[in-house]
Structures are given as C-alpha cells and as structure tokens.
C-alpha cells in the first residue's frame, strides 16, 4: 500500500494539517478501532457514535494520524469539514497515482461472488487487488483503495447502494474502465421504489466511466437486455440466452461440480467449477467476459475458474456434527433465497431450511416472504423461519402444502436454536439463509458449538 503524507492527503481533500505533522505518513485507513492496524489513518466519522470519541484509543493502537472535523488533543491530524467526503477525495487521488485498470461491479444479487470470480480470472495475468469482504460503500470502497499495493495493475471494486446517487459517488471515485451489472433484483426496493428505480441506481456506475469504458450487462435480465443503447458506452452482454456476446451453454451439475460451455464469437471454453447451483453460471460468465476484454488467455480463464473458491458465508457447504451445512448467511434477497432453496432441494438427505428475514424490501416484504414460503414448501422437509416476517414465510409454506407441524416461526434466536437441536438428525442437510442484519450465523454457531 502507498505511503501517503498528511501534507499530500490534505492537499488532495482540501484539508489542513499542522506544519509539524505534514510529513507524517500513513499506510491505509480504517474507521474501526477494533480492527485498526498500526500505521493506518483513523477516520473519525459521525455515525451512531461520534468517531472523535475514539481518537485517543486509535492513537494508542498505533494509528499514524487522524482524519477528523475538529481538534481532539495534540495528534497528527488532517482537519476537514466532512471526513467521509475527504476520505473519498484522498482515495480518488491515490487511485490515480497507482494507475490500475479499474473493474467496477454492481448488481442486486451475487455481486460479491462475481467480484471474487473476476479477480480470480485475472490473477496470474495481472497484479490484482479487490475489495475485501463487504467494503462496497462510500466508506469501505475508499478504504479498500487506500490499502492497495502500488504495483496493482487491475483493481476489482464492488459497488453497493441502497439509495440513489450512492453508486454515482463511488463511480466518481473509481472511474471504472470496465463496469459490470450482474442483475436487477428487488434488494433495497424499500428505498428505490421499483425495479426500474433499482436499475436507474445501478446504471449510475456509468457516470464515472470514460467514453471508451466498457459496460458488461446480464443479457438474461430483461431490465438490462432491452435498454436503449447508452451514449458513449460499449456494451457487451453475457448470459445464457440467444444473442448474448459471451454465452453459456449446456449448464449442468456433474459429480458435485458446475459445468458449462462459454462461447464468445468463434471461441469456446469448457468451464468446470466446484460450486453447486446453476445460478452461479451468469456470475462466472461475467468473469469470463471481463477476462476476455482484458486479454486473459482462454486457457488461464478455464484454469482459474476451476480453482475458484467462494467467500465464507456465501453458500459455503461443509460437514459438521453429522450434518451437511449450507452456510449462506451473508445476505439474502428473494432471488438468492430461491436459488439457495434450489441447492438445498437437490442435495440427498432430509432437507431443513432455516430462513431469516430478507431486509429492505419495503412494501414488497409481505408478498416476497410469502412467495419464499411457497418455494420452501417444495424444496424442504422442515422449515424454521426467524424474524418479524417469519409468520408470513410459514403462511406460504402451509399454503404450499407443508403440514403445520413441519414449519414454525420464531422471533427469538435461542428458541430457534433449541427447536433446531431437538429436530435435526445426523444426515440432515441444513440451509441457513438470511439478510446479514439478521445475524443468522449466530444460530449456526450455536448449533455446532453447544452440546446436543
């Protein structure tokens, strides 16, 4: 990562720094003292708690300096009006100094997985840096940039949002050379009003692109396929439907692996990945499309996808205590929930679905949770629903034909775990799936850790 002086950073963001501290350098940035590393710039943000209150603790943990809006003690600091905006300004200028090709990734479902696949495809051809974990917002993405090595040749940056103009802001920092929109779903519809509103927000990724930038869109998504051609943007469609520029064919599960053929013009590649679920095909096709755009040899694309492993918490399948666990607790929307239930239903054994609420669905929440209950009735033998919308899920499962004694709603996580321990038997396949804010991973941990 870069060695940035306070004087340089202050110039980039329009801040001020005491002269005696102008040559103090920092390496990366962080706004959380619990994970802050020595030498980083501590960002004092105003959130549920005032970040300025944590400045002394940050300095004690080895922070090189502070980005803040008011003086708190005699510490090396950059003083600005808004630390959040200043962080973005510093990241924008640092990215210019590093000078990598930038791939921006957004979408309603699967953008983190797609980001990981793209980075995997590019490895070995380029020095690649990518957004870690969930660093995809106006704080996380700039911090990811400030942690990049100077030798980075391609930066793969995930861009998330739940309001209008948030992706436009991120695109203005990153200036992507290649932008990928994975799909348009219903996540965050509470704030964006409709799927058309979600599409409008996702397309903000084009605002920071150069006229020569390349836009890669999911050609199987009708909200993306039939767009009017965007001015000054070169569009490539990936997908499994006819007419896609990078097309997936003959997708199937074979001996526990996802197998398909990828075609682009006269080029044909055989892809085999250690994943379960046909919903991963388009994520992989997006990665293939990026790889081809950046001239990665086709054989390397095949090899890198064959070695791909998804992030923890995203359809992570493992054996524990005699169960087959499908850990998909990182996030959830109606589309990904349905896909996860499909994976559950295709596994041998008795199927248990532990489903937490899907958040930020607004007026659609009642209907979408009911629909998931109907799907769960077809794919699972037992359903445990957790959260304020759990009753609505169970209404759907009962309407879908599941007996009432095989589906239950819980508002208390401990009660959920107690019931799950009582009902689960060795050999069962158990899916845990919910929006991140439900913290369903705690129920999974309790199931596996405690004595039965």
Domain residue limits, the chain: 4-81, 99-306, 316-449
CATH homologous superfamily for the domain 99-306: Mur-like, catalytic domain (3.40.1190.10)
Average model confidence (pLDDT) across the chain: 94
| pLDDT the model gives residue 399 | 97
Which CATH number applies to 316-449? 3.90.190.20
CA 451 and chain centroid, separation: 33
Write out pLDDT tens, residues 289-302.
999 999 999 999 99
| pLDDT the model gives residue 59 | 97
| pLDDT the model gives residue 232 | 60
- How many angstroms separate the CA atoms of 435 and 430, rounded? 17
Orientation angle between helical segments 281-293 and 298-306, nearest 10 degrees: 140
**CB contact set of 256 (below 8 Å; sequence gap of 6+):** 274, 276
Low-confidence ranges of the chain (pLDDT < 50): 451-452
**b/e map 12-43, b = 16+ CB within 10 Å:** bbebebeeebbebbbbbbbbebeebeeebbbb
- How many angstroms separate the CA atoms of 208 and 193, rounded? 24
| pLDDT the model gives residue 47 | 85
Q: Does residue 400 contact residue 376 with C-beta atoms inside 8 Å? A: yes
| pLDDT the model gives residue 39 | 97
Query: Measuring CA to CA, how many Å separate 174 from each of 93, 282, 426, 430?
Result: 10, 24, 49, 40
| pLDDT the model gives residue 311 | 76
Multiple choice CATH, 4-81, 1.20.200.10, 3.40.1390.10, 3.90.1150.10, 3.40.50.970: 3.40.1390.10
**CB contact set of 210 (below 8 Å; sequence gap of 6+):** 175, 177
Return the bridge partners of 216, or none.
180, 236
């Amino acid at each position: 990562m870069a060695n940035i002086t306070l004087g340089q950073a202050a110039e980039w963001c329009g801040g001020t720094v005491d002269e005696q501290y102008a040559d103090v350098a920092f390496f990366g940035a962080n706004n959380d003292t619990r994970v802050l590393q020595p030498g980083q710039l501590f960002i004092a943000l105003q959130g549920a708690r005032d970040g300025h209150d944590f400045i002394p603790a940050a300095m004690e943990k080895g922070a090189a300096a502070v980005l803040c809006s008011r003086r708190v003690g005699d510490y090396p600091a950059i003083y600005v009006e808004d630390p959040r905006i200043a962080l973005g300004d510093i990241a924008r200028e640092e990215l210019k100094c590093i000078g990598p090709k930038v791939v921006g990734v957004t979408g309603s479902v699967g953008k983190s997985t797609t980001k990981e696949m793209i980075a995997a495809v590019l490895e070995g051809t380029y020095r690649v840096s990518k957004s870690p974990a969930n660093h995809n917002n106006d704080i996380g993405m700039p911090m990811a940039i400030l942690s990049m090595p100077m030798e980075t040749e391609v930066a793969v940056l995930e861009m998330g949002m739940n309001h209008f103009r948030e992706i436009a802001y991120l695109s203005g920092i990153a200036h992507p050379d290649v932008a990928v929109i994975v799909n348009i779903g219903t996540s965050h519809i509470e704030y964006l009003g409709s799927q058309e509103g979600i599409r409008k927000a996702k397309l903000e990724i084009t605002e920071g692109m150069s006229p020569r930038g390349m836009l890669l869109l999911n050609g199987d998504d009708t909200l993306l396929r039939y767009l009017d051609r965007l001015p000054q943007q070169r569009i490539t469609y990936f997908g499994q439907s006819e007419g896609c520029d990078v097309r997936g064919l003959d997708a199937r599960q074979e001996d526990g692996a996802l197998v398909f053929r990828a075609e682009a013009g006269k080029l044909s590649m055989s892809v085999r990945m250690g994943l379960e679920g046909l919903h991963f095909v388009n994520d992989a096709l997006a990665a293939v499309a990026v790889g081809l755009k950046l001239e990665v040899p086709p054989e390397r694309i095949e090899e890198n996808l064959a070695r791909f492993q998804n992030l923890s918490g995203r359809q992570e399948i493992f054996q524990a205590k005699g169960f087959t666990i499908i850990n998909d607790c990182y996030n959830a929307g109606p589309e990904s929930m349905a896909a996860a239930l499909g994976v559950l239903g295709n596994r041998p054994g008795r199927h248990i679905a532990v489903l937490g609420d899907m958040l930020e669905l607004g007026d659609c929440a009642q209907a979408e949770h009911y629909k998931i209950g109907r799907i769960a009735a077809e794919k699972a033998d037992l359903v445990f629903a957790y959260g304020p919308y759990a009753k609505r899920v169970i209404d759907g499962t009962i309407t879908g034909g599941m007996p009432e004694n095989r589906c239950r709603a819980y508002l208390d996580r401990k009660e959920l775990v107690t019931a799950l321990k009582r009902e689960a038997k060795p050999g069962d396949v158990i899916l845990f799936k919910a929006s991140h804010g439900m913290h369903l991973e705690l129920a999974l941990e309790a199931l596996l850790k405690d004595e039965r």
